Amino acid sequence: MNNKGNNIECFMLVLSSPSGAGKTALAKKLLKSDNSFNLSISVTTRTPRNGEINGKDYFFVNEKEFEKMVENNELLEFANVFSHKYGTKKDLVKKSLKNGKNVLFDIDWQGTKQLKDNIKISNQLVTVFILPPSLFELNRRLKNRALDSEQTLKKRMFEAEKEISHWVDYDYVIINDDFEKCFNDLHSIIRAEKLKKFRQISLEKFTKFST
Amino acid sequence: MNNKGNNIECFMLVLSSPSGAGKTALAKKLLKSDNSFNLSISVTTRTPRNGEINGKDYFFVNEKEFEKMVENNELLEFANVFSHKYGTKKDLVKKSLKNGKNVLFDIDWQGTKQLKDNIKISNQLVTVFILPPSLFELNRRLKNRALDSEQTLKKRMFEAEKEISHWVDYDYVIINDDFEKCFNDLHSIIRAEKLKKFRQISLEKFTKFST
């Protein structure tokens, strides 16, 4: 992606985790508490779950529409998860950054890898992996959600283990053993990232201090 | 410095600022509230101020002793500030890191530059610059301390402006317009640094999750 014209004070924050590690709840709380963030709404070919709204939770499209976006190079990243396709539209991300908003991504390791490869200003990307306290605990949480059949649960656990194996490719790693602590960790990461020297363009007034 | 045998979970945190920007108060509060830190006590040739204790605030040495340390390559960095020499002893830093402690440095831009040059594992160094809200405010604070003659005050302001011109060489920049906010910023930086992937060796247990 060409970042020309983007606000370099802003950044793209990726949250990844296996399902059941609490990522969605973290993202929701972050968006509520910090209005410097816009959520990047993914395009997907999967069927809407109960209560999911088109254009808010996802942009729901069919296979053909998705393929067209890929062909037209409209996606910043795309990935297959549980036999469904997920992607991020370039234009929406660009627009947010241009308007001085940070962009929050709720994507998996495949999407994160593509984002890394496709972004020209590498320090504009901040990646955070949320780990469950243990596999046992993750299994328990997925069972409690009771969304899935036994077979799907097994598949989810398999996918979770695969996802977890990629934590080493992220900038930051947080263990979600306590939601509030985990959220405060995420908040600290964001606060620190905002204090990074290269994001503080507004401080250029201090160059007048130079002798 | 050879970091072999050091704990790579630990890091060296540099705080720099012009005098009067609140760095010393921040360092004191940090050391009180976070016992993962040891202060790096500098060696100096300057005369002790009222109440300063040898071995606690500084190691006070004479010119000859200082020169010997330089010759014997015992110093990790050294610099001239206000016609006095300041330096950091390698062995003390090494010992702290080996014992699983982070090390806090209260040094100027010259010392920071040397630390950067002398450290083999670059991501073991985290540098933070504290800026005053304005030059006017800095002048007011220095006057209020009433430690110095008019001439020394002028010299301090000149040195302060020189120091400030180096803020761009630091990883993070904090403006100290409000002490509590500034401390919370520093705290967030430290918390985020502790969450960096490469510091979380203890998470290697999660590699067992890999498929």
Condensed to tens digits (0 to 9), the pLDDT of residues B9-67 reads 899 999 999 887 888 899 999 999 999 999 999 999 999 999 999 999 899 999 999 99
Is residue B204 pLDDT above 70, yes or no? Answer: no
Q: Do A197 and B168 touch (CB under 8 A)?
A: yes
Residue A62: inside a domain: no
Question: Can you give the pLDDT at residue A2?
Answer: 42
Name beta bridge partners: A15: A106, A128
Among A165, A172, A197, select the one facing B197 at the smallest CB separation: A172
pLDDT digit string, tens, across residues A41-89: 999 999 999 999 999 989 999 999 999 999 999 999 998 877 899 999 9
Amino acid at A54: N
- Of all residues in chain A, the one with the smallest CA distance to B172 is A196
Closest CA to A26 of A191, A166, A179, A194: A179
Closest-CA distance of chain A to residue B91, Å: 30
DSSP A41: P
d(CA A191, CA B104): 20
Residue A133: inside a domain: yes
Q: Give pTM, 2 decimals.
A: 0.87
Q: Do A207 and B170 touch (CB under 8 A)?
A: no
Average pLDDT over residues A19-42: 92
User: B-chain residues within 8 Å CB-CB of A162?
Assistant: 211
Q: Which residue has the higher pLDDT, B5 or B83?
A: B83
Residue A76: inside a domain: no
d(CA B167, CA B189): 16
| Chosen from B9, B172, B180 to mutate, greatest number of chain A CBs within 10 A | B172
Residue B51: inside a domain: no
d(CA B10, CA B40): 14
Question: Can you give the pLDDT at residue A3?
Answer: 42
Question: Can you give the pLDDT at residue A7?
Answer: 62
Is residue A1 pLDDT above 90, yes or no? Answer: no
Is residue B87 pLDDT above 80, yes or no? Answer: yes
d(CA B80, CA B60): 15
Residues of A with CB under 8 A from a CB of B: 129, 131, 135, 158, 161-162, 164-165, 167-168, 170-175, 184-185, 187-189, 191-193, 195-197, 200, 203, 206-207, 209-211
pLDDT digit string, tens, across residues A150-170: 888 888 888 888 889 999 999
| Chosen from A109, A128, A168 to mutate, greatest number of chain B CBs within 10 A | A168
Among B164, B195, B209, select the one facing A185 at the smallest CB separation: B195
- What ipTM was estimated for this complex? 0.86
Residue A3: inside a domain: no
d(CA B61, CA B52): 14
Average pLDDT over residues A192-207: 80
Q: How many domains does chain B have?
A: 1
pLDDT digit string, tens, across residues A86-134: 999 999 999 999 999 999 999 889 899 999 998 888 889 999 999 988 8
Residue A121: inside a domain: yes
Q: Do A206 and B131 touch (CB under 8 A)?
A: yes
**DSSP string for residues in B97-120:** HHTT-EEEEE--HHHHHHHHHH-S
User: Is the distance from CB of B87 to CB of B70 less than 8 angstroms?
Assistant: yes
A58: Cα separation from own chain's centroid = 13
pLDDT category of residue B145 using cuts at 50, 70 and 90:
confident
Boundaries of domain holding B27: 12-40+102-209
d(CA A78, CA A96): 19
Closest-CA distance of chain B to residue A62, Å: 31
Q: Give the CATH number of the domain where residue A173 resides.
A: 3.40.50.300
d(CA B99, CA B92): 11
Lowest mean pLDDT among A136-145, A156-165, B98-107, B169-178: A136-145
pLDDT category of residue A146 using cuts at 50, 70 and 90:
low
Closest CA to A127 of B126, B202, B196: B196
Closest-CA distance of chain A to residue B189, Å: 5
Question: Can you give the pLDDT at residue A9?
Answer: 87
Residue B190: inside a domain: yes
Question: Can you give the pLDDT at residue B4?
Answer: 43
Residue A158: inside a domain: yes
Q: For chain B, what percent of residues have pLDDT higher than 70?
A: 90
Copy the structure tokens of residue B43.
């060696």
